[in-house]
Amino acid sequence: MRKISTLTTAAALAAFSLTAAEPKRPNILFIFSDDHALQAITAYGNSRYADYFQTPHIDRLAEQGALFVNSFVVNSICGPSRAAVLTGKHSVHNGFVDNSSRFDGSQPTIQKYLGESGYETAVIGKWHLVTDPTGFDHWEVLPGQGSYWNPDFIQMDGSTQRFEGYVTDIITDKTIDWLENREDKEKPFLLLSQHKAPHRNWMPAERHLMLFEGIDLPEPETLFDDYSGRSRTLQEQEMQISDHFFWGWDMFFHAAPPEAANMMDGLRNREYERMTPLQQRSFDYAYGPRQQKFLDDLAAGKLSEDDITSWKYQRYIKNYLRTIKALDENIGRLMAYLDEQGLADNTVVIYSSDQSFFLGEKGWYDKRWMFEESLTMPFILRWPSQVEPGIRPEAMIQNIDYAPTFMQMAGLSVPEDMQGSSLMPILKNAGATPADWRSEIYYYYTGEAVHRVPAHDGVRTERYKIFYLPRTDEWQLFDLIEDPKELRSVHNDPAYAEIFAEMKALYHRTREHYEIPDGLPK
């Protein structure tokens, strides 16, 4: 299995092996969230919410370490992204191509490699790979998507236990508890602390229910996109804020609003059903008056269709950011714990998310598309004394690169069948991109019935992006400098004929490099 990068494992290890000045292999704390868009991380800059919302603890990690500005997912749905992290391989090679897959836990994974080399390993929180975790000394994971309020956790003996409280706080409690009580504190550790937030249905912690009260957050310029200039499949999706929110699950109504509200039926807010009576009282106090005003305005004929969409957007984005508020607070808790216990200097702390998310851009929520809003993923890394603080590497990286990086951090050789490349050459060179680093990334999505986003795969370079839609047998080509919001495909523009031909050739070469089988579902 060939890698797109020409950097050889042997050369990388020779240049970046641990030295006598580094007597202890580092601990690795990997904090992984779900669907965290770059627009909702102030360290990434240019957030339209920055005047109203910040992520100070994530930002602190960036200030003290490296923030990768060109970080991308190989497959923008939860399970496949997580499988790529653990294996260092594209979806077609690790076997987890979509959320209907089951992860083959018998295959080699990063926790097994590090565990066999002397690391103590654990995963706590969201797993979402269907089969039970394997290769960890300890695991305690949410079933499926998990719940925000009073969540259940699957235990290693197969039992399930419920814990009262808010899931983000509880995952952090359990993470700290494992660090406090692990069997051999002389061993280095690999700890995956994995959060549900900010995944749908965006239920805030009780302390944040009133956050943004009385404030209208900025709307994206493309909230009312008409999808002209691109494939007709964009009009067929089912992830529009205007049309595809459930009145119970997404909008938190207890009963169906009038038909004019244009909200879907069929999925109640089961998080509310998990709450204690006292928790429900707090929830109703926060949301009841907001909902009643909307219903009154709707009945009075004060709201146009665009007004209704804007109201839904405000409800959605405020709840989304509220869940991130708790996430950021708990990252601060973990960093404070490392400081207090004297662990910070020899612990690599990484913050990432399984993909980004549409925050109203193109009128959407969710992910799946190869557009920038869901293709990107945050990657921030702090390693005191080893990584220069405040650097912003521009190399194009993907989540298949995480496992090779962890291997080299632990002083291990990178297995030949891992398709990613270690980030160590970048980290050890003040963030500079090696001359032989990849100049393109590959994306692969097989399509799912949920949200009706068609299968497509493609290649992105620094300036251009091309992807192919097999169901409609069409290409899409975007110039990311001239059209950063990707509002017009130029695949049929004569001015881009040469670029189109070059990008198609690159697409085929990249598929060959990664040994991608012919054909995607139609």
Tokens found for residue 429: 């060179």
Domain coordinates in residue numbering, the chain: 24-202+321-430, 211-218+225-316
pLDDT in tens, 449-474: 899 999 999 999 999 999 999 999 99
C-alpha angle with apex 332: 331 to 338, nearest 5 degrees? Answer: 90
Q: Is pLDDT above 80 for 175?
A: yes
Tokens found for residue 123: 């995963």
Query: How far apart are the C-alpha atoms of 336 and 176, rounded to whole Å?
Result: 11
Q: Contact at 8 Å (CB) between 285 and 155?
A: no
Q: What Å distances lie between residue 505 and 1, 108, 188, 397, 441, CA to CA?
A: 20, 33, 45, 21, 14
In the block, which residue shows the tokens 């549900």? Answer: 196
Amino acid (one-letter) located at 402: Y
CA dihedral angle for residue 60, residue 64, residue 65, residue 68, rounded to 10 degrees = 40
Which residues lie closer than 8 Å to 480 by C-beta, 6 or more apart?
372, 460, 462, 463, 464, 465, 486
Q: What confidence category does residue 137 fall into, taking pLDDT thresholds of 50, 70 and 90?
A: very high
Query: How far apart are the C-alpha atoms of 284 and 209, rounded to whole Å?
Result: 10
pLDDT in tens, 311-322: 999 999 999 999
pLDDT in tens, 44-84: 998 999 999 999 999 999 999 999 999 999 999 999 999 99
Q: What confidence category does residue 522 fall into, taking pLDDT thresholds of 50, 70 and 90?
A: low
CA dihedral angle for residue 111, residue 370, residue 445, residue 198, rounded to 10 degrees = 50
Q: What Å distances lie between residue 179 and 153, 184, 365, 390, CA to CA?
A: 18, 10, 36, 27
| Nearest Cα residue to 496 out of 485, 509, 472, 480 | 480
C-alpha of 58 from chain center: 14
Query: Residues 495, 481, 350, 16: is their CA dihedral positive or negative?
Result: positive
**pLDDT in the model for residue 23:** 54
More confidently predicted of 299 and 16? 299
Q: Contact at 8 Å (CB) between 279 and 206?
A: yes
**pLDDT in the model for residue 19:** 41
Ramachandran angles phi, psi of 521, nearest 5°: -60, 145
C-alpha of 113 from chain center: 24
Ramachandran angles phi, psi of 344, nearest 5°: -60, -40
CA contacts within 13 A on the Cβ side of 421: 25
Q: Contact at 8 Å (CB) between 451 and 238?
A: yes
Peptide bond into 143 cis (omega under 30): no
Q: Contact at 8 Å (CB) between 144 and 154?
A: no
Provide the β-strand partners of residue 464. 479
Tokens found for residue 265: 């039926």
Query: How far apart are the C-alpha atoms of 331 and 193, rounded to whole Å?
Result: 10
CATH number of 24-202+321-430: 3.40.720.10
Burial class (CB in 10 A: 0-12, 13-18, 19+), 243: middle
**pLDDT in the model for residue 1:** 47
Task: Report the share of the chain in percent with pLDDT over 90.
Answer: 93
Q: Is pLDDT above 80 for 3?
A: no
Phi-psi region of 262 (alpha: psi -120 to 50; beta: other; left: phi over 0): left
Query: Residues 248, 253, 254, 259: is their CA dihedral positive or negative?
Result: negative
Q: Is pLDDT above 60 for 18?
A: no
Tokens found for residue 472: 């409609």
Tokens found for residue 30: 């990997």
pLDDT in tens, 471-501: 999 999 999 999 999 999 999 999 999 999 9
| Nearest Cα residue to 74 out of 87, 84, 60 | 84
pLDDT in tens, 376-420: 999 999 999 899 999 999 999 999 999 999 999 999 999 999 999
In the block, which residue shows the tokens 């980004």? Answer: 356
Ramachandran angles phi, psi of 141, nearest 5°: -130, 155
More confidently predicted of 130 and 183? 130
Q: Contact at 8 Å (CB) between 424 and 408?
A: yes
pLDDT in tens, 94-129: 999 998 999 999 999 999 999 999 999 999 999 999
Amino acid (one-letter) located at 259: E
Q: Is pLDDT above 80 for 279?
A: yes
Tokens found for residue 164: 């009262």
Phi-psi region of 110 (alpha: psi -120 to 50; beta: other; left: phi over 0): alpha
- Taking each helix axis as running N to C, give the angle between helix 402-409 and helix 78-87, from 0 to 180 degrees, rounded to the nearest 10: 30
